[in-house]
Structure 1
Amino acid sequence: MTSKESPAEGVSRGQGEGIPPANDTREEVPIQVMVPESIRRQVAMMGVNRGENIRTVVLRGLQAIGIDVPESELADRRGRRRNKNGCGNGAK
């Protein structure tokens, strides 16, 4: 990799060296990055516009740069809470 080449440019789509295959059944672990607030808002708004959570938006982004992300990982895993009136959207 040259000094001008970003890490993602040196990796073939879905074939990074030493990266376990996507069908690996390891537990989920957090990845934390600090980003400017404006980027966090853009990611959140993209999720709202697409009807997806931030996790799914980030996984789609990782998939776009060549990380092998199975379609099954793109599903929203959050349970929907219902308020006492039976509405799940927080309406009273």
Structure 2
Amino acid sequence: MSKSFDMELFLSGVLTGSHATRQRHIRQAKIIQAEIAVRWQLETPWVWQRKHVAWFLGHRMSQRSEATRYYYVLTVRLLARRLEKSWIFNL
């Protein structure tokens, strides 16, 4: 039996701001994780490449509002900071 990946624990070192902001980033990171897991069977952010996150932002967020895409890019920036990657994504 394998334990599921704890996104809240993963992001705890880079999360700042109000409780609502932290919860939004955790919720959005879990959504990103779930979509990438379905598409590429990659369960943890440690094995993600930039192309996986770019796919999520480009294809899964393409029909969302500009504000929604902005908030997801902020969450992706937190993920990249936690992974110590220099990924840059444009809105």
Q: Please give the TM-score of this superposition, normalised by the length of structure 1.
A: 0.28
Higher relative contact order (CA closer than 8 Å, sequence separation 6+) = 2
User: Which structure dedicates a bigger proportion of its chain to helix?
Assistant: 2
Larger of the two Rg values belongs to structure: 1
